Structure 1
Amino acid sequence: MTPLTRAPLGTAVLSGVAPFGGEPVDLVLRDGRIAELRPHGSAPEPNRFGAEGLVLLPAFVDLHTHLREPGGEDAETIATGTAAAAHGGYSDVFAMANCTPVTDSPERVRHVLGIAARTASCRVHAVGAITEALAGKQLAPIEAMVAAGARMFSDDGRCVDDPVLVRDALEASGRAGTVIAQHAQCGRLAGSGQINAGAAAGRTGLPPWPSTGEETVVARDLVLAADAGAALHVCHVSTARSVALVRWAKEQGWPVTAEVTPHHLLLTDGEAATGDTRYKVNPPLRSPADVQALRAALLDGTIDAVATDHAPHPAAAKAADWCGAPFGMTGLETALAVVAEVLHAGRGVDWALVADRMAHAPARIGGITRFAGRPIAVGEPATFTLVDPRARWTVDPADTAGRSHNTPFGGLSFRHRPVATVVEGHVTADRGGLFSRSAR
Structure 2
Amino acid sequence: MTYLIKHGFLVDPVAGRYGEYDLIIKEGKVIAVGKDLAGEGQEVIDAHNLLVMPGLIDLHVHLREPGQEEKETIATGSRAAAKGGFTSITAMPNTIPSADNASVITFVKTKSKEEGVVRVYPVGNITKGGAGQELAELADLVEAGAVAFSDDGASILNAAVERYAFQYGKLFNKPFLLHCEDKNLTADGVMHEGTVSTKLGLKGIPALAEEVIIARDLLLAEETGAWIHLCHLSTKRSLDLFKEAKARGVQVTAEVTPHHLTLTDQEVLGYNPATKVSPPLRPLHDVEALQEALIEGTIDLIATDHAPHTREEKHQEYSLAPFGMTGLETALGVVLTKFYHTGKLSLERIVQLMSVKPAQVLKIPGGTLKEGSPADLIMVDLNIEWEVREEDFISKGKNSPFIGKKLKGRNLATMVEGKWVYKSPQAPFNGVEKKF
Note whether the superposition's TM-score is higher than 0.5. yes
Q: CA deviation at 1:266?
A: 0.9
Provide Cα deviations, 1:396-420, integer angstroms capped at 9, x if missing partner. 1110221121111111111111111
Say which SS state the counterpart of residue 64 (structure 2) adopts. coil
CA distance in structure 2 between the aligned counterparts of 1:127 and 1:166, rounded to whole angstroms = 17
1:116 counterpart residue number:
112
Say which SS state the counterpart of residue 87 (structure 1) adopts. helix
Cα distance, 1:48–1:185 mapped onto 2, change above 3 Å = same
Of the three residues 393, 399, 412, the one matched with 1:400 is: 393
CA distance in structure 2 between the aligned counterparts of 1:323 and 1:247, rounded to whole angstroms = 34
CA distance in structure 2 between the aligned counterparts of 1:430 and 1:113, rounded to whole angstroms = 25
1:16 counterpart residue number:
7
Instruction: Find out whether 1:436 has 2:434 as its counterpart.
Output: no
Kindly provide the amino acid, as one letter, of the partner of residue 427 in structure 1: W
Q: CA deviation at 1:345?
A: 5.5
1:372 counterpart residue number:
366
Q: CA deviation at 1:433?
A: 3.6
Of the three residues 313, 320, 325, the one matched with 2:321 is: 325
Say which SS state the counterpart of residue 394 (structure 2) adopts. coil
Q: Give the 5 Å matches for 1:25-40.
A: 25-40=21-36
2:409 counterpart residue number:
416
Kindly provide the amino acid, as one letter, of the partner of residue 328 in structure 2: L
Provide Cα deviations, 1:55-86, integer angstroms capped at 9, x if missing partner. 11111111100001111111100000000011
Asked if the contact 1:295/1:342 (under 8 Å) is kept, the reply is no
Say which SS state the counterpart of residue 391 (structure 1) adopts. strand
Asked if the contact 1:319/1:325 (under 8 Å) is kept, the reply is yes
Of the three residues 243, 256, 261, the one matched with 1:260 is: 256
Instruction: Find out whether 1:143 has 2:139 as its counterpart.
Output: yes
Kindly provide the amino acid, as one letter, of the partner of residue 269 in structure 2: A
CA distance in structure 1 between the aligned counterparts of 2:163 and 2:123, rounded to whole angstroms = 19
CA distance in structure 2 between the aligned counterparts of 1:201 and 1:302, rounded to whole angstroms = 30
Asked if the contact 1:169/1:180 (under 8 Å) is kept, the reply is no
Provide Cα deviations, 1:414-435, integer angstroms capped at 9, x if missing partner. 1111111111201111123433
CA distance in structure 2 between the aligned counterparts of 1:87 and 1:81, rounded to whole angstroms = 10
Of the three residues 194, 197, 202, the one matched with 1:198 is: 194
2:15 counterpart residue number:
none
CA distance in structure 2 between the aligned counterparts of 1:152 and 1:43, rounded to whole angstroms = 41
1:69 counterpart residue number:
65
1:6 counterpart residue number:
none
1:178 counterpart residue number:
174
Q: Give the 5 Å matches for 1:119-138.
A: 119-138=115-134
CA distance in structure 1 between the aligned counterparts of 2:39 and 2:117, rounded to whole angstroms = 34
Of the three residues 74, 77, 80, the one matched with 1:78 is: 74
Structure 2 gap ranges (5+): 13-17
Query: Mean Cα displacement is larger for which, 39-48 or 78-87?
Result: 39-48
Asked if the contact 2:2/2:41 (under 8 Å) is kept, the reply is no
CA distance in structure 2 between the aligned counterparts of 1:143 and 1:378, rounded to whole angstroms = 34
CA distance in structure 1 between the aligned counterparts of 2:273 and 2:303, rounded to whole angstroms = 21
Q: How many percent of aligned residue pairs carry the same amino acid?
A: 37
Kindly provide the amino acid, as one letter, of the partner of residue 250 in structure 2: W
Cα distance, 1:327–1:335 mapped onto 2, change above 3 Å = same
Asked if the contact 1:32/1:424 (under 8 Å) is kept, the reply is yes
Structure 1 gap ranges (5+): 1-9
- Could you state the TM-score of these two structures normalised by the residue count of structure 2? 0.94
CA distance in structure 1 between the aligned counterparts of 2:345 and 2:93, rounded to whole angstroms = 34
CA distance in structure 2 between the aligned counterparts of 1:275 and 1:160, rounded to whole angstroms = 31
Instruction: Find out whether 1:161 has 2:161 as its counterpart.
Output: no
Asked if the contact 2:23/2:37 (under 8 Å) is kept, the reply is no
CA distance in structure 1 between the aligned counterparts of 2:169 and 2:296, rounded to whole angstroms = 28
Provide Cα deviations, 1:372-400, integer angstroms capped at 9, x if missing partner. 22x22222221111111011111111102
CA distance in structure 2 between the aligned counterparts of 1:306 and 1:92, rounded to whole angstroms = 14
Cα distance, 1:31–1:342 mapped onto 2, change above 3 Å = same
CA distance in structure 1 between the aligned counterparts of 2:36 and 2:268, rounded to whole angstroms = 48
1:382 counterpart residue number:
375
Q: CA deviation at 1:43?
A: 8.2
Instruction: Find out whether 1:359 has 2:359 as its counterpart.
Output: no
Q: Cα RMSD over matched residues?
A: 1.7
Cα distance, 1:169–1:120 mapped onto 2, change above 3 Å = same
1:277 counterpart residue number:
273
Of the three residues 407, 418, 423, the one matched with 1:425 is: 418
Cα distance, 1:344–1:148 mapped onto 2, change above 3 Å = same
1:221 counterpart residue number:
217
Kindly provide the amino acid, as one letter, of the partner of residue 150 in structure 2: S
Q: CA deviation at 1:274?
A: 2.2
- Could you state the TM-score of these two structures normalised by the residue count of structure 1? 0.93
Kindly provide the amino acid, as one letter, of the partner of residue 286 in structure 1: R
Say which SS state the counterpart of residue 163 (structure 2) adopts. helix
Q: CA deviation at 1:349?
A: 5.0
Of the three residues 295, 307, 328, the one matched with 1:311 is: 307
Asked if the contact 2:366/2:373 (under 8 Å) is kept, the reply is no
